[in-house]
Structure 1
Amino acid sequence: MTEQFAVWTENDAEQSARWGSTSNAPVPKRIVVADDTMKADDAYRLACEGTALLWRGDFQNARQLSKAVASRIDRKPRRASEDPAKAFHLHRQTQGRRAQILGMLLIPLDADLSIPLRRAPDAQVALTEAFGITGEPSVRSLRDILGAIGAHEWHRKGVFIEALDARVHPAFGVFSPVRGEYVDLVASAPLPSTESAFDIGTGTGVLAAVLAQRGVKAVTATDQDPGHCNALVATSRGLATAIR
């Protein structure tokens, strides 16, 4: 993949840094420098217009600004439809637009993935696990960075799955199985057969592990994301289940 660079003007000079995006979002066409003096209404307006904000202020204030912008997004009345398919499409459209706007708040990263902002967390380990060391300064959205930090904690602590009586340790980019209702459903629903089962889009592999534990002889789990497949292997080994 061709490397992309974010470009902006700061101190009357053109600056640039490597662009990174977990969701493969394009480089914002316009980037302006922002700090603690930026008001939420102005940030929201600029983000809606497609202007990204490169943060130079306090890291915790950036988090607060992001929350304030999110509240302004959520105030807008949502389009509704009685048709389930159209309602689902509108919901996805709204969520996509929300993510796009919130993704306009950018955080600079040094070459070692440290965050050169006041009151920034020491997140080098989490960011290295998620993004890998590039050896050069970069720019990412605050959402990406907070997601990587949160994923690191999920991976470190694990998520207890009652149906397995064990912890699953999801890696970055793999949905954490924090909603237990679907796990409980697979753990308790009558099985039409115990000869074979398929888990399509397996993620952490938790559902495949539940099926294997219930005595299904051949459980095949697939996912198009290599990172998810690695998580599946880790889950299978950790629980000593036979999943392929």
Structure 2
Amino acid sequence: MTISWTDEQGHSRQLAWLSAAQQAAPQRVLAVDDRCTADAAYRELSQGTALLWQGDYHNARQLLQAITRRIARSAAKGARKPAAALAPTERFHRERLARAQRARLLGQLLLPCEPGYHIALRRAPDVQAACEAAYGPSPAVPFALSLRELLGVLGAWQWFLRGVEVPALGARIHPHYGVFAPVRSEYLDLLAAAALPAPPPQSAFDIGTGSGVIAALLARRGIPRIVATDLSPAALACARDNLTRLGVSAGVSVEEADLYPEGRADLVVCNPPWLPGRAASALDAAVYDPDSRMLRGFLDGLRAHLNPGGEGWLILSDLAEHLGLRSREELLGWISKAGLRVLGRSEIAPRHPRASAVDDPLHEARAAERTALWRLAAA
């Protein structure tokens, strides 16, 4: 894919297009530089025109921040009802729509790059290592990418270098780009504290392993044979990397699979996305589960993949219930329909900052949220 525009001399120009999120190349592009005001930029973006920046790199970042403020002001003016007047479900959908529209607009401020991930702008930073981790080898021709996406790549690179401290592991997990970081550690505390089935399980499945943190925790708890599955190539590579870093890779097999691997296990653990809804990006896929596909697939397949006397552990937040997206009765119905019974349930309150942020439009739901570990067995 390519983008095309006309320069100030009237010459037609073209660049290859690069997007880790596989976003389509913008159809209308206007070249701008430091002379472009935030108001003019916002007007062009709102009309569907992408802006190819040709000025100073730091000025481009400041412009992005200025446009973000204008988007927020416009959204506040255009809201027909204040958030407090809406039902929780309406509030949630309005916030999702606003975030999607903001991401679409901000994603249209573009940067020109040379092969080797060299940003062809004044005062541009060295982004080669971060970009190679996210995109792979550099294109061999000049190309353009989204500044907003690049900032996400650079942020993810810092997460990877520093790692995320996981108290339940007593170690750090290093998330790769496009793989959800285990920043909400309360669900891992539930997993670490839950009593293992008796006799002690000799095998376990970690369904949808992501960063590999659950498989690592199960290995640290002494389960000798673990199979961790995922469909995402980025997640599979990330899990293998973290399991090797933690010194537990010998007992864990990481396999590409849509939910279950072959065979049965004494313990099957799944932490599916907590909210039903369409995922708009790779990171979204760790939060949103279209039609609760993964949740229902885990429940429907669990009985056939448990050894006699085995248990399935479902880690799930009830945020969807507080937002009116799924009821507790619906979840219990799916469990019963899958031929399962509930052995027990433990829960924990969230500790992340948004749970106490009173200015968050979803504050009431977040404050009431609890994350639970459901212990399931064949009925």
Contact 2:3 2:14 in 1 (8 A): yes
Contact 1:34 1:56 in 2 (8 A): yes
Partners of 2:196 and 2:93 lie apart in 1 by 32
Deviations 1:107-139 (A, max 9, x none): 111022101111100112222222221111010
Q: Which deviates more, 136-145 or 177-186?
A: 177-186
Deviations 1:67-118 (A, max 9, x none): 111122223236754153x544333222221111110100111022101111
Partners of 1:129 and 1:92 lie apart in 2 by 29
What is the aligned partner in structure 1 of residue 252 from structure 2? Answer: 243
What is the aligned partner in structure 2 of residue 108 from structure 1? Answer: 112
Tell me the matched-pair count: 240
Partners of 1:189 and 1:89 lie apart in 2 by 35
Partners of 1:136 and 1:155 lie apart in 2 by 28
- The amino acid that maps onto 1:25 is Q
What is the aligned partner in structure 2 of residue 137 from structure 1? Answer: 142
Partners of 1:208 and 1:58 lie apart in 2 by 45
Distance 1:201 1:61, change over 3 A: farther
Moved over 6 A (4+): none
Structure 1 unaligned regions, length at least 5: none
What is the aligned partner in structure 2 of residue 41 from structure 1? Answer: 39
Deviation at 1:191, TM superposition (A): 5.2
| Residue aligned with 2:24, SS | coil
Pairing 1:160-239 to 2, within 5 Å after superposition: 160-190=165-195, 195=201, 197-239=204-246
What is the aligned partner in structure 1 of residue 302 from structure 2? Answer: none
Contact 2:166 2:173 in 1 (8 A): yes
| Residue aligned with 1:37, SS | coil
- The amino acid that maps onto 2:3 is A
Q: Higher strand proportion, which one? A: 2
| Residue aligned with 2:67, SS | helix
What is the aligned partner in structure 2 of residue 53 from structure 1? Answer: 51
What is the aligned partner in structure 1 of residue 347 from structure 2? Answer: none
Deviation at 1:218, TM superposition (A): 4.6
| Residue aligned with 2:52, SS | strand
Partners of 2:215 and 2:98 lie apart in 1 by 32
Partners of 2:185 and 2:20 lie apart in 1 by 26
TM-score w.r.t. length of structure 1: 0.88
The answer to whether residue 93 in structure 2 is matched with residue 93 in structure 1 is: no
What is the aligned partner in structure 1 of residue 306 from structure 2? Answer: none
Distance 1:185 1:9, change over 3 A: farther
Q: Which has the larger radius of gyration?
A: 2
Q: Which deviates more, 155-164 or 129-138?
A: 155-164
| Residue aligned with 1:43, SS | helix
Q: Which deviates more, 232-241 or 188-197?
A: 188-197
Deviation at 1:216, TM superposition (A): 4.2
- The amino acid that maps onto 2:217 is V
Pairing 1:121-132 to 2, within 5 Å after superposition: 121-131=125-135, 132=137
Deviation at 1:60, TM superposition (A): 0.8
The answer to whether residue 181 in structure 2 is matched with residue 158 in structure 1 is: no
TM-score w.r.t. length of structure 2: 0.58
Deviation at 1:140, TM superposition (A): 0.4
What is the aligned partner in structure 2 of residue 32 from structure 1? Answer: 30
Deviation at 1:220, TM superposition (A): 3.5
Deviation at 1:217, TM superposition (A): 5.0
